[in-house]
Amino acid sequence: MTDEKNRKGVVNLKEKAALLTELWSPRVVGEVDDSYVKIAKIKGEFTWHDHQEDEFFLVLDGQLDIHMQDHTVRLNAGEFYVVPKGVMHNPKASEECVVLLFEKKTTAHTGNVQEDMTRDLSEQLRPL
Amino acid sequence: MTDEKNRKGVVNLKEKAALLTELWSPRVVGEVDDSYVKIAKIKGEFTWHDHQEDEFFLVLDGQLDIHMQDHTVRLNAGEFYVVPKGVMHNPKASEECVVLLFEKKTTAHTGNVQEDMTRDLSEQLRPL
């Protein structure tokens, strides 16, 4: 067995994150049935939106505040939170932060809001 | 906003992993639509099996070898691999290793094999 074979299909999250050059631009790094695994580098404030699906946020590096209408959760590296479907939310990070997302393939980036920050699935699917 | 509110629903993976006392006994720590997020502590060899669904393995701590019939992949901490549905596999870890799994709720622990190592969903759903 060669080293190359040993690594085929293996995704190193730190290596992938280092390739992210755009903020708030999730990139697909894996596919699990009808869901995508994505990573994104974020800083500042996103936009208020909701989804028809649950959304899983795992902080890989940095700190993330997920603002919801009635409360806010703060996530440090190694912590996750699932925003339930239909719940308006707005992620914010005062410093650069890397997150792993687990989302249905049908999940729209900014829900039914179309904004400058919206990245459609074809943009998210560009190989890193 | 109190600290308590800030933390509701937040899952710290290291804290949860520290509560795992049984090897090869995945525990559900999150729910995302029709999938579960699970963590498991493993050491040694599991058993050959496959699933009708894809299975996402992310190594949180340690090193994992996923043996498949024609090759093996080695995962270090911070690396993930998706075993495609229908692919026979057998996870092995020479030292203690903690993994995060992302699986459909329908995924059977050891596929259509029922063994001493099999943990049914009710066992996996016991709160940590």
Digit-coded pLDDT (tens) for A89-104: 999 999 999 999 999 9
Q: Which two tokens stand for residue A109?
A: 């980036």
- The string of pLDDT tens digits covering residues B6-30 is 889 999 999 999 999 999 999 999 9
Phi, psi of B24 (to 5 degrees): 55, 35
Q: Which of A29, A32, A82 to probe the B interface (max B CBs under 10 A)?
A: A32
Residues on chain A touching B8 (C-beta within 8 angstroms): 71, 73
Percent of chain B with pLDDT over 90: 90
Nearest CA among B118, B64, B128, B124 for reference residue B96: B64
Nearest CA among B53, B48, B128 for reference residue B91: B48
Question: Where are the domains positioned within chain B?
Answer: 28-104
Q: What is the average pLDDT score of chain A?
A: 94
* Largest pairwise CA distance in chain B: 54
Q: What's the CATH code, domain B28-104?
A: 2.60.120.10
Its ipTM equals 0.94
Model pTM? 0.95
**For chain A, first and last CA: distance in Å?**
27
Who among A9, A53, A56 is closest to B37 (CB)?
A: A56
pLDDT higher than threshold 90 for residue B34: yes
Contact A10 B82 (CB under 8 A): no
CB–CB contacts below 8 A, A to B: 106
Select the more confidently predicted residue: B7 or B93. B93
Is residue B71 within 8 angstroms of chain A, CB to CB?
yes
- The string of pLDDT tens digits covering residues A54-107 is 999 999 999 999 999 999 999 999 999 999 999 999 999 999 999 999 999 999
User: Average of pLDDT values for B32-56?
Assistant: 97
